[in-house]
Amino acid sequence: MGSSSSKFKKYIQNGDEYAAMQMSKNVPELYRSVDPNISYGENHNHNTLVHYAAKHGMKHLLRTFLQDMNGNPNKKNALNENALHLACQLNQMSFSAYERRAACVQFLLYWRGAALNNGEREKVDLAAQDKEGNTALHWAAATGLRRCVELLIAHGSPLFIENNDKYTPCDLAMKASHHDIAEFLESRMVFADNPNTVNEDEMIIEQEEVYSGLRSQDLQEAKDQLLVDTSDMLKIPLFTAEALLRVNEWSRELLLEKWMKNAAECCEFAGVQAPSSILHHASSLDSSISNETNDEEFICEICYNSITDYDRSIKISCKHIFCKTCWKSYLNMKIQDGDAHHILCPAYDCHILVPVDLIEKLVSPVMARRYLQFDIKAFVESNKCIKWCPVAGCGRAVRLPEAEQHREPREKNIPLTSHAVDCGNAHFFCWECLGEAHAPCGCKEWHEWQVNIVN
């Protein structure tokens, strides 16, 4: 492990992200053996793995260090630079280099560390100055990183701090002939007291948010959060929220629009019982079952055998009754057939969904895990805002940025076909056609060009 760890650190120091990621795949325990906050030593200016990932624009590794390994971007190296300083320094001029820098800066700006005494969590220090007195904004302005400048300003980076030579970020942009950046910074300095300025910048951030690479646990968290938010908003059970979202392409906005028109119809279409709060008449069936005596005879509607040990917890809103044996056989068959995300009551012509907690209660733990895997798969494939990485065996997904989800195509300055995205596993592809990344060329033109090459 010592040799692997040394090679891994060497790759990162030299900026070879691909080699480092390949090694981490071949040696899964590698991440557990390295600390992203440990200094490389005096000969390397006391840079850490987080410093080097930011310095070389290695956005995949930087995200891993920050999100999965408790990396701290506020640690200073020998030049008094934090990771944000290094992410805003550019040596290579290319579109991909600009894109990587912007992604790294965004990861750093959204990083949240340990809890502070005031109840908030630590954020990256925007006002930190290196030995020359430069902030991250000084570096971004001086090196022509317009997108990084916009990100920093939107998150409150100070405009008026002077470095040791008495230059503000605006001064450095002008000195380096980045006149567009200088004009942008000057306008923000003039209207610095106008609160609308910050809001406008925040809109820019939302519209150009980086596409998010999602692991299986991220997908589960995203789904769970959506369910909780929808359940709280509509005052309905989580199972009902899931059923409603599933038939509405996991769009809370689309669901809300239909819910406001006719909530009962919404529930009926989704195969769930409408909550009592929206019904004018309470169902008499609930009281009839609750008043039944224990010695009443129950008949399974599948095998027609008498149920002598009827479990009253095994029931769904449609009130159809089945024995445990028939329930288990039916659920196992549906899960094995891959139809786990939409299991209906086994009664003929019944369109009521079987609750998730009932499924997990009746099947084995192994089958329950399989069910949950199918459930996540269905969550992605029925969600217009999330797509699987097309690379075989990757298992990651990519989510459309929040702002893009609510904008009409005519409002977009750049069509979706021009978006080259990555899943966080160094796989780059086109969001629209899932083919090889070809931005800024449109999908149609790209495929025509490919055909011409072959012919």
Bridge partner residues of 436 (DSSP): 429
Contacts of 61 (CB under 8 A, 6+ apart): 12, 17, 20, 21, 49, 53
Residue pair 113/122 in contact (Cβ under 8 Å)? The answer is yes
How confident is the model at residue 370, as a pLDDT? 82
Lowest mean pLDDT among 8-12, 48-52, 82-86: 8-12
Residue 227 in this model has a pLDDT that exceeds 90: no
For tokens 């090679």, name the residue. 7
Residue 214's pLDDT band (cuts 50, 70, 90): confident
Mean pLDDT, the chain, as a whole number? 79
Report the CATH number of the 284-384 domain: 3.30.40.10
How much is the average pLDDT of 3-29? Answer: 81
Tell me the pLDDT tens digit for each residue of 106-164: 889 989 888 888 888 899 999 999 999 999 999 999 999 998 999 999 888 999 999 99
pLDDT in tens, 307-331: 876 666 677 778 888 888 898 999 8
- 37-51: average pLDDT: 91
Q: What pLDDT, in 10s, does the model give residues 152-205?
A: 998 889 999 999 999 999 999 999 999 999 999 998 887 665 444 444 444 333
User: Does residue 209 have a pLDDT over 50?
Assistant: no
**409 pLDDT band (50/70/90 cuts)?**
very low
- Average pLDDT, stretch 387-407? 74
The model's pLDDT over 65-86, given as tens digits with 9 standing for 90+, comes to 888 888 999 999 999 999 999 9
Pick the CATH number of 2-211 from 3.40.50.10320, 3.20.10.10, 1.25.40.20, 3.50.50.60: 1.25.40.20
- How much is the pTM? 0.49
Q: What is the pLDDT of residue 268?
A: 84
Provide the percentage of residues in the chain whose pLDDT is more than 70.
82
pLDDT digit string, tens, across residues 247-276: 888 888 788 888 888 888 888 888 887 777
3-state secondary structure labels for all residues of the chain: CHHHHHHHHHHHHCCCHHHHHHHHHHCCCHHHHCCCCCCCCHHHCCCCHHHHHHHCCCHHHHHHHHHCCCCCCCCCCCCCCCHHHHHCCCCCCCHHHHHHHHHHHHHHHCCCCCECCCCCECCCCCCCCCCCCCCHHHHHHHCCCHHHHHHHHHCCCCCCCCCCCCCCHHHHHHHCCCHHHHHHHHHHHHCCCCHHHHHHHHHHHHHCCCCEEECHHHHHHHHHHHHHHHHHHHCCCHHHHHHHHHCCCCCHHHHHHHHHHCHHHHHHHHCCCCCHHHCCCCCHHHHHHHCCCCCCCEECCCCCCEECCCCCCCCCCCCCCCCHHHHHHHHHHHHHCCCHHHCECCCCCCCCECCHHHHHHHCCHHHHHHHHHHHHHHHHHCCCCEEECCCCCCCCEEECCHHHHCCCHHHCCCCHHHCEEECCCCCEEECCCCCECCCCCCHHHHHHHHHHHHC
Q: Are 101 and 148 in contact (CB under 8 A)?
A: yes
**The pLDDT of residue 354 is above 90:** no
pLDDT greater than 50 at residue 422: yes
User: Which of these ranges, 287-291, 348-352, 437-441, has the smallest mean pLDDT?
Assistant: 287-291
- The arithmetic mean of pLDDT across residues 352-380, rounded, is 83
Q: What average pLDDT score do residues 333-340 get?
A: 78
What would you report as the CA-atom Rg of the chain, rounded to the nearest whole angstrom? Answer: 28
> Tokens 């009746």 belong to which residue?
362
In terms of Cβ atoms closer than 10 Å to its own Cβ (0-12, 13-18, 19+), residue 206 is middle
